[in-house]
Amino acid sequence: MQTAEATSHDFITVGGFRQEIQTVGAGAPVLFLHPGRGMRGAGPFLDALAAGARVVAPSHPGFDRSELPDWMNTVEDLAYHYLDVIDALDLRDVTLVGSSFGGWIAASLAIKASPRIARLVLIDAVGVKVGGRDDRDIVDIWAQKKTALDALTFHDPSRGGVDYASMSDEELTSIARNVESEALFGWSPYMHDPKLLRRLHRISAPTLVLWGASDGVVKPDYGRAYANAIPGARFALIEAAGHLPHIEQPDATARAVLDFISATPVRGA
């Protein structure tokens, strides 16, 4: 088993490269896999989750300040890497929580049936194709003007406002790296794995699929189809939220996750 080496700057080394990581709270472990925007705006959600769990929140390889090895270029690569991270951090009975792009990674992880994964929570996850060949299941985020994309992403489009002029060079670099890395992993086929839908039946962990009621990027019916493909999965809406409920409604989203953890004790416990 690989070992994780923590530094005072909140980095771990797994697989020979450095990965930024945040840890907050105490209790049952939750591994949060962030959306394509990175960890930006996730703080209140992580704090709310930490009221009832130990939250481990890495930045994916290539995102924020995490290194990207030159061999890593698919979501499958990320999923297998996170199996190594779970082992390296010795996370047991962990609840996987993935948002959007991070939900795709979480679903790809869960089909591999690691005995360390106790539960799965998908929040407005991408990663599957549920419609016909010519149906646009997932809005092309790179073909939208910012105002249009904000209206699709947020229940309150003003939440999409970004004051780039006030940001540090480090913050701007993180945003640019996140866009570049999300494109690397999700460009073609666009934001999905054509085989993943047919493999979701392999998920044995209790699963909760949470969806922003106002999501215009992947609409709630897409979320329902996602849930229907996972044995026994529950589907629930987060009101007054779009594609990123953990940002627009951090308390309600965290409460739904913690309630799910409480209602689904570890198998064999």
User: What's the sign of the alpha-carbon dihedral 123, 109, 78, 7?
Assistant: positive
The pLDDT assigned to 74 comes to: 97
Beta 207-212 vs 117-123: how paired, if at all?
parallel
Q: CA–CA distance from 208 to each of 22, 60, 98, 101, 112 (Å)?
A: 24, 22, 11, 16, 18
What local confidence, expressed as pLDDT, does residue 265 receive?
82
Mean pLDDT, residues 207-217: 98
pLDDT of residue 8: 33
- The residue ranking higher by pLDDT, 131 or 128, is 128
Looking at residue 267, what is its pLDDT?
63
What the chain holds in terms of domains, given with CATH numbers, is 11-263 (3.40.50.1820)
How buried is 195 (Cβ within 10 angstroms: 0-12 exposed, 13-18 middle, 19+ buried)? exposed
> Which pLDDT does position 135 carry in this prediction?
87
Q: 160 CB contacts (<8 Å, ≥6 apart)? A: 146, 149, 150, 153, 154
Strand partners, 234: 208
Residues 151-190 have pLDDT tens digits of 999 999 999 888 889 989 999 999 999 999 999 999 999 9
**What does the pLDDT read at residue 132?**
87
pLDDT tier for residue 130 given thresholds of 50, 70 and 90:
very high
Please give the mean pLDDT across all residues of the chain.
Answer: 93
Contact criterion met (CB below 8 Å) for 109 and 117 = yes
Cis peptide before 61, with omega less than 30 degrees from 0? no
Q: What is the maximum alpha-carbon separation in the chain?
A: 53
